[in-house]
Amino acid sequence: MIVACASFRGLDIVYSADNKTLLGKPALKAYHRINIKENLRTPNFLKYVDLLEKFRN
């Protein structure tokens, strides 16, 4: 649902700490395939810790 909303709204980045499911290879492949079929742009996926480090520095 998170990625679908991000795709529909045209968001550039989705941050997540859920590396096993939301950012897992099968999920990323599925997002990409569905977004191609629906003519949507797939957002970039980054780890939540990267966001934290960016704001802490």
- Look over the chain and give the mean of its residue pLDDT values, rounded to a whole number: 94
Residues 8-27, mean pLDDT to the nearest whole number: 93
Structure-block tokens of residue 52? 């934290």
User: Residue 9 corresponds to which amino acid?
Assistant: R
Cα dihedral angle (12, 29, 5, 55), rounded to 10 degrees? Answer: -40
**Host H or E run for residue 13:** strand 13-16
Residues 36 and 56: their CA atoms lie apart, in Å, by 36
On the question of pLDDT at 38 being above 90, the answer is: yes
On the question of pLDDT at 19 being above 90, the answer is: no
On the question of pLDDT at 31 being above 90, the answer is: yes
Rounded alpha-carbon distances, angstroms, from residue 13 to 17, 33 = 13, 18
pTM beyond cutoff 0.85: no
On the question of pLDDT at 57 being above 90, the answer is: no
